[in-house]
Amino acid sequence: MRNDRSGAVPSSGGSRDPRRAIESLGQFCEELASLSRGGSPIDPEVLARCEGVDPAAIARLAAGLDLLGAVLGGEEDPTRPQGGLEGADSLALGRYVDAVQIARGGMGAVLRAEDPDLERTVAIKVQLAGRRARPESVTRFLREARITGQLEHPNIPPVHELAKTPDGRWYFSMKLVEGRTLAEELRRRGELPRSRRPEATLRLLGVILKVCDALRYAHSRGVFHRDLKPANIMIGEFGEVLVMDW
């Protein structure tokens, strides 16, 4: 990679002119694409050793691209203070009680809560407050709830209810999946002694087959998962496999 304006990752110092930064980033990405088309592997460690490329700048670039992806995807800047759940335990969620936040994403937070009528623990995804609650975000939130609710398959979490809080935020309750993500299982496999990895691989192949079953069913209903990744696949304590975040 050349040590010139097209080969260096834009620095966060100096001029803050966004037009120059975007132009420089575009040239850098074009050069990476050229390497890829030529069959050259793009290894981050090798990239960091290229003349004129600062490893710290690569880290800033990765963070910037994540931010750009979030903004272009219709989300707010995740580095800015946003509205959220001002005390999950104080939210009025219909019959559900004892809500505790266990995860948070771009459109909503996931809570663990109790359903006293059926005496079971459920997961509740609730829309965030503040500027994230824009009309397009509401549309995406409702689309996720309705699509997931329409996909009745053993490897897709069932949705129990779609409702609104008194302050107008949508939420939906669904099966609580306790276990690990496929991403965590893959990391655990990599940490095993080599002699135990084939057994772990066979077990994970079984997980992948269940994921394929879920996708095949969804495709038959005209639904395509647009964010399928190991972090969105849950493996339960008793071997259940669920594809999340539709």
Catalytically annotated residues: 227
Selection from 102, 150, 149 nearest residue 126 by Cα:
102
- Cα-to-chain-centroid distance, residue 168: 25
Output the six-digit token pair for 32.
């990476």
- CA 165/CA 118 separation, integer angstroms: 20
What does DSSP say about strands 170-175 and 120-127: parallel, antiparallel, or unpaired?
Answer: antiparallel
Nearest Cα to Cα of residue 161 among 100, 93, 106, 243: 93
CA distance 106 to 92: 21
- β-partners of residue 111 are 101, 124
